[in-house]
């Protein structure tokens, strides 16, 4: 684990265990025919917690510990109507005894978004309908002001502290490769938004001296996700690590990531035919439905990349970032939603 190789971090950085690690690495046998090849594996972070898996839980081991260390009792988070981050904040935040308030911005309504809203309602979190981006920002500030000392988690929580979770995840994978449980991947494919996960995996690989290419499947606009924004996150996280433990300087390789922009379609959360198909394949892989924002687009990109001459003979690894466990639907939960969100839920069911 990261704390074993960088003990300076363990002494200074807040951390609370939440995830069930390590997550397995398995071949993508269930979609081999669809991909048209073997040699494609997946990292089962979808099962990183029986409460709620996906890529937020490793990050929240640091983020929620930080909130507690600062003495906050309440967390305010911001996300889309189908936000996995809002879900993770509600479930893990409540598990650790925080009050949770979420401010939700509009995104295309889908079955997944409807279930997410019902899950938020059932969680007991305070729910604010933010609306568009500007109103969401204003309502977030208002929600923060209402209870002094509240802890804010912005979309993606892509700060250096949170990113430690995926630097550590890369070391976890290296351990599995070393023990012969999985081949070393030539490329890792994952959906990327705020890009904290991508940046952290790329840093972890560089530290190991692996030349593995980390391929971020862009699920949001180029404005929010590009080489400039990602390089900045890489740099901040790199400096943070170096500041906390000089051994980090022993990094052996160079940061090697790329951005795949061909799956986005009209924008964040918008379905494309390929993403809808990808979401179906997520069900084949994990047994739980996929969605079009993240997992469907990642699968669409994987499908495309797996056949490209440059990758055809390479070992690929899909990093599963969407939780397979989902909160159970509670009858009548929609009554706890603000009216404008309740209307969205009932008009699409």
Ligand X SMILES: *Cc1c(COP(=O)(O)O)cnc(C)c1O
Of 23, 77, 84, 324, the one binding ligand X (CB under 6 A) is 84
Residue 110 in the binding site for ligand X (CB under 6 A): no
User: Binding-site residue total for ligand X (CB under 6 A)?
Assistant: 18
Contact criterion met (CB below 8 Å) for 121 and 334 = yes
Contact criterion met (CB below 8 Å) for 55 and 166 = yes
Tokens, residue 77: 């988070």
Contact criterion met (CB below 8 Å) for 205 and 184 = no
Query: Which of the residues are catalytic?
Result: 83
Q: How far is the CB of 162 from ligand X (least distance, A)?
A: 8
Residue 54 in the binding site for ligand X (CB under 6 A): yes
| Stretch near ligand X under the rule CB under 6 A, chosen from 23-31, 146-154, 180-188, 191-199 | 191-199
Which is nearer to ligand X, 54 or 130 (by Cβ)? 54
Residue 269 in the binding site for ligand X (CB under 6 A): no
In our burial notation (b when 16+ CB lie closer than 10 A, e otherwise), range 94-120 reads beeebbbbbbbbbbbbbebbbbbbbbb
From CA 40, how far away is CA 185, in angstroms rounded? 9
In sequence order, the 6+-apart residues with CB closer than 8 A to the CB of 332 are: none
From CA 123, how far away is CA 107, in angstroms rounded? 21
Residue 156 in the binding site for ligand X (CB under 6 A): yes
Nearest one of 70, 75, 80 to 94, comparing CA atoms: 75
Nearest one of 92, 231, 219 to 153, comparing CA atoms: 92
Residue 192 in the binding site for ligand X (CB under 6 A): yes
Of 117, 299, 322, 337, the one binding ligand X (CB under 6 A) is 322
Which is nearer to ligand X, 219 or 337 (by Cβ)? 219
Residue 321 in the binding site for ligand X (CB under 6 A): yes
| Stretch near ligand X under the rule CB under 6 A, chosen from 63-71, 118-126, 186-194, 246-254 | 186-194
Tell me how far CA of residue 276 lies from CA of 74, 83, 100, 323, in angstroms: 37, 18, 32, 17
Which is nearer to ligand X, 76 or 322 (by Cβ)? 322
Site string for ligand X, 198-227 (x = CB under 6 A): x-----------------------------
Residue 89 in the binding site for ligand X (CB under 6 A): no
Residues that bind ligand X (CB under 6 A): 54-55, 84-85, 156, 158, 191-198, 294-295, 321-322
């Amino acid at each position: 684990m990261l704390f074993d190789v960088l003990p300076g971090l363990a002494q200074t950085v807040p951390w609370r265990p939440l995830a069930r690690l390590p997550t397995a690495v398995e071949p993508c046998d269930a979609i081999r025919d669809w991909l048209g090849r073997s040699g494609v594996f997946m990292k089962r972070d979808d099962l990183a917690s029986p409460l709620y898996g996906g890529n937020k839980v490793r990050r929240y081991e640091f983020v929620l510990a930080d909130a507690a260390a600062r003495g906050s009792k309440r967390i305010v988070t911001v996300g889309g109507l189908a936000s996995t981050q809002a879900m993770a904040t509600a479930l893990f935040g409540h598990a650790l005894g925080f009050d949770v308030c979420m401010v939700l911005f509009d995104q295309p309504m889908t079955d997944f978004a409807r279930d997410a809203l019902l899950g938020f309602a059932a969680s007991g979190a305070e729910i604010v309908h933010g609306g568009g981006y500007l109103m969401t920002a204003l309502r977030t500030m208002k929600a923060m002001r209402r209870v002094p000392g509240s802890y804010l988690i912005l979309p993606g929580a892509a700060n250096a502290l949170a990113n430690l979770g995926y630097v550590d995840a890369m070391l976890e994978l290296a351990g599995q490769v070393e023990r012969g449980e999985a081949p070393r991947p030539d490329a890792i494919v994952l959906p990327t938004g705020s890009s904290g996960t991508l940046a952290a995996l790329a840093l972890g690989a560089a530290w190991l001296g692996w030349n593995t290419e980390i391929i971020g499947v862009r699920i949001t606009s180029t404005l929010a996700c590009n080489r400039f924004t990602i390089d900045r996150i890489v740099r901040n996280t790199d400096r943070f690590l170096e500041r906390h433990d000089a051994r980090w300087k022993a990094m052996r390789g160079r940061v090697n990531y790329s951005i795949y922009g061909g799956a986005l379609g009209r924008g964040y959360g918008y379905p494309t035919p390929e993403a809808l198909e990808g979401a179906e394949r997520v069900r084949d892989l994990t047994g739980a439905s996929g969605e079009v924002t993240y997992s469907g687009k990642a699968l669409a990109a994987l499908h495309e990349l797996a056949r490209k001459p440059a990758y055809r003979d390479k070992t690929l690894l899909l990093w599963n970032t969407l939780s397979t466990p989902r909160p159970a639907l509670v009858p009548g939960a929609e009554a706890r939603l603000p009216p404008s969100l309740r209307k969205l839920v009932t008009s699409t069911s």
